[in-house]
Structure 1
C-alpha cells in the first residue's frame, strides 16, 4: 500500500476513536452537571466537547489529503490540515470564552453545588478519558508524522489536568468554601488560554512554512555523505499537512556530463528518502561547483521587448 495513503488511514482511525472517547467522557460529565450545578464541571465539560469537535476538521483534512494532486492543486490538499489546525485553535478559544463567562456569572451570582461525590467522580473520569485519548493520538501522530495529531494529543493531555481542577473545586466546597467552584472554573479558563497560545504558535508556524531547525541540519548532514556532492548551498523544507517536502541545491564537479549529474541527484534523493523517513518528496537541483547557489541564478539588470530595465 502507498505509505502516504496508509498514514492518512491511520490518522482517520485515530481521529475517529478519539472522538468517540471524548464524546463519551463529555456526556457522562453532562449527566453529573445536570444534578450538581458545578460551574467548574460545566467549564470542563464544554472544553471536552470542544476537544471532541476538533476531530471534525482534522478528520476532514485527513480525508481530503487522500485526493490526488490536479492542475489546480498541484501539491495536493495537504494544506487543508493546516486550516483544520486553525479551526481547532478557534474552537478551543471559544470554549475558553464560554468557561470564563460562566465562571464570572457564578462568582457574582453563586448557586449551590450538590452531588459533590458525583462531581469528583466526573472529574476523575474526565482526567482518565483525556489521558487515554492523549496517549492514543500522540502514538498514532508520531507513527505517521502528523504534528497536528500529536499537538492535539498534548492538548487532550492538558485537558485531563484541567479536569483535576474540578476535583479541587469540589473538595473546596466540601471543606466549606463555595467560592472554590467558580475559582476552579477560572483556573480551567486560564489553562485553556495557555493551550490556545501554544497551539496557535504551532499552527501559525506551519502556515508560514516553519519547520524544526534540526530537520534542516539533518538534511545537510545526510546530503553531504554522498561523496560526489562537493557542496550543499540551499536547503528548503516545508510541511503540507503531515507530509514534509524538501528542496536542496547541490554542487558537483563541473566536468561531469548531464547524465552523470542526474545520476548524483537520483542518489541524493534516494539517500534522503531512506535515511529521513519523515520526508514525502525531495527535489534536487544540481549546479556546477563554482557557480552553485541561488545567487548565480539571478539575472543582472537588463532590457528587452521595450520593457523598463529590470532583473530577475
Structure 2
C-alpha cells in the first residue's frame, strides 16, 4: 500500500486537480440541467464529466508510469500513461457524440425559450462558477507546462505563452491544458448561447452551442489519440535532438555525429548518441570525455538515461552543424 501511495504522489497534480474540479462542476451543471432543462447546460455537464473521467485516468497513468522496471518489464512502465490516455479518450468520444447528437436534436426541434428569470440566473451563475474554476485550473496547468518547457511563467504567461511551448510538456500536463482550454471556452459559449436565446429569441441558439462544444470535445479526442498513439509506438523528440547535438558539438574533440536519437517513453526521454572523434585520443581521455558529455546531457529536462558511444572520424560529414553549434565551438554566446 505504501508503494501505491508513493507512486500516486509522483502523478500529475494538474490532472488530479482538474479531475476534482471537473467532477464538482459536472454535478453542479447536472443539477442546473435538472432544474432548467437547458440543452447548453447538458452539453457542459457532459463535457465536465468527460474531462473528470479522462483526467482521473491521466493522473492514474502518470503515477503508474513511474513504477520501477521489473524482471518481466525491464524497460519500465513509461508508455503506460499513453495507453491509459488512449483508453480514457474512448469515454470522451462517446460523450462528445452524445453532446453533438443532443444539440442537433434541439436545433431541429428547439424548445421554447426559457423566460423564467430564476432559471436564467441559475444557468448563468453555474456557468460563471465554471469559468472561474476552469480558468484557475487552466492557469495552474499552463504554469506547470511552462516549468516543464523551462520557460518563464510569471504574470499571465501561463495563459498566453503556454500554447507556443505545448509540445515540450509532459503528455499528462499537455492534455489537462488542452482540455481546460476547451472547458473554459465551452462555458463562455454556453453563457452566450443562453443569453442569445433569452434576449434575441433564437430558440436554436442553445442547440448550436451544444454542437460547437461537442465538436471541440472531438478535437481533443483527435489530438489526444494521435499524440498518445505515437507515444505507444515510440516517438522521437526532434527539438531535444537538436539541443543535444549542440551540447555534443560544444567539445572540439567531437568531429561528427553518426547517430542521435531521443526516444520518448511516457514522461521520460532516452538518448542514444554515436559520435566521431580523432583517432589519436587516448582511451583514458576518451572515457573522461564520454563522462563529461553524458553528465551535461543528463542535466536536460526529462532525460532518463544516455548511451554515448565513440567511433573514429571517417572524414565524411554525417550530421550538419547549425550556426548555433559553430558559435558554440568558437566560444560565442
Report the TM range for the smaller structure's normalisation.
Answer: 0.7 to 0.9
Asked if the contact 1:29/1:122 (under 8 Å) is kept, the reply is yes
Structure 1: runs of 5 or more not aligned: 295-312
Task: Supply the distance in 2 between the matched residues of 1:51 and 1:178 (Cα, whole angstroms).
Answer: 28
Structure 2: runs of 5 or more not aligned: 149-168, 319-333
Shift of 1:113: 5.6
1:249 aligns with 2:274: yes
Task: Supply the distance in 1 between the matched residues of 2:240 and 2:286 (Cα, whole angstroms).
Answer: 25
TM-score (norm 2): 0.79
Shift of 1:121: 1.8
Task: Supply the distance in 1 between the matched residues of 2:50 and 2:120 (Cα, whole angstroms).
Answer: 24
1:260 aligns with 2:264: no
Pairing partner for 2:120 from 116, 121, 132 = 116
Task: Supply the distance in 2 between the matched residues of 1:130 and 1:203 (Cα, whole angstroms).
Answer: 24
Shift of 1:99: 0.1
Task: Supply the distance in 2 between the matched residues of 1:227 and 1:284 (Cα, whole angstroms).
Answer: 16
Q: Aligned Cα RMSD in Å?
A: 2.6
Asked if the contact 1:18/1:136 (under 8 Å) is kept, the reply is no
- Equivalent position of 1:290 in the other structure: 314
Pairing partner for 2:139 from 135, 141, 148 = 135
| Change in CA separation of 1:9 and 1:22 when aligned onto 2, cut-off 3 Å | same
- Equivalent position of 1:65 in the other structure: 65
- Equivalent position of 1:180 in the other structure: 205
Q: For 1:39-188, list aligned pairs within 5 A.
A: 39-112=39-112, 114=114, 115-143=119-147, 145-175=169-199, 176-188=201-213
| Change in CA separation of 1:189 and 1:12 when aligned onto 2, cut-off 3 Å | closer
Task: Supply the distance in 1 between the matched residues of 2:220 and 2:295 (Cα, whole angstroms).
Answer: 39
- Equivalent position of 1:194 in the other structure: 219
TM-score (norm 1): 0.83
Q: How many residues align?
A: 289
SS of equivalent to 2:11 = helix
Asked if the contact 1:235/1:249 (under 8 Å) is kept, the reply is yes
Task: Supply the distance in 1 between the matched residues of 2:211 and 2:62 (Cα, whole angstroms).
Answer: 34
Shift of 1:156: 1.0
